[in-house]
Amino acid sequence: MKILGIDYGEKKIGLAISEGKLAEPLGVFSIKYLVLSIKRICQKEKIEKIVIGISEGKMAEKTRNFAKELKQITGLSVEFWNETLTTQQAVKKMIEAGKAKRRRKLDEHAIAAALILQDYLDNPH
């Protein structure tokens, strides 16, 4: 089953994809035209489910509204998964891998999306 993982932020959104047991970062996108871009990605990649990282806080309501819109536009099942500290974990992994600060800023949301999706894949739900 192909699954799309999403790290939803205020300005940027990280995407990751999985075709089995391993999540891979897909890229980082700006908010503008995001839902239509995700719809195209879901069609092109034949995505069957979407997993969105969520943590209770100021972004929770925005994330839920975004998920509702995605479900309507794509017709796919959308599930939430705890994303607490995933961006910090992503930055730590990139520092350990020796990525430059500029590159880390570009990739952190895609890596966070991959961490969210990998955690979803690794744990029973």
How does pLDDT run across 30-63, given as a tens digit for each residue? Answer: 877 788 889 999 999 999 999 999 988 888 999 9
pLDDT at 47: 97
For residues 122 and 36, give the distance between their C-alpha atoms in angstroms, rounded to a whole number. Answer: 29
**Residue 104 reports pLDDT greater than 60:** no
How high is the pLDDT of residue 91? 62
- pLDDT at position 105 is 59
Segment 95-112 mean pLDDT:
69
For residue 77, the cross-strand partners are 49
What is the per-residue pLDDT for 90? Answer: 64
Domain boundary assignment for the chain: 3-122
Fold of 3-122: Nucleotidyltransferase; domain 5 (3.30.420)
Q: What is the largest CA-CA distance in the chain?
A: 40
pLDDT score of 68 = 95
Q: Average pLDDT, stretch 95-118?
A: 74
pLDDT at 41: 94
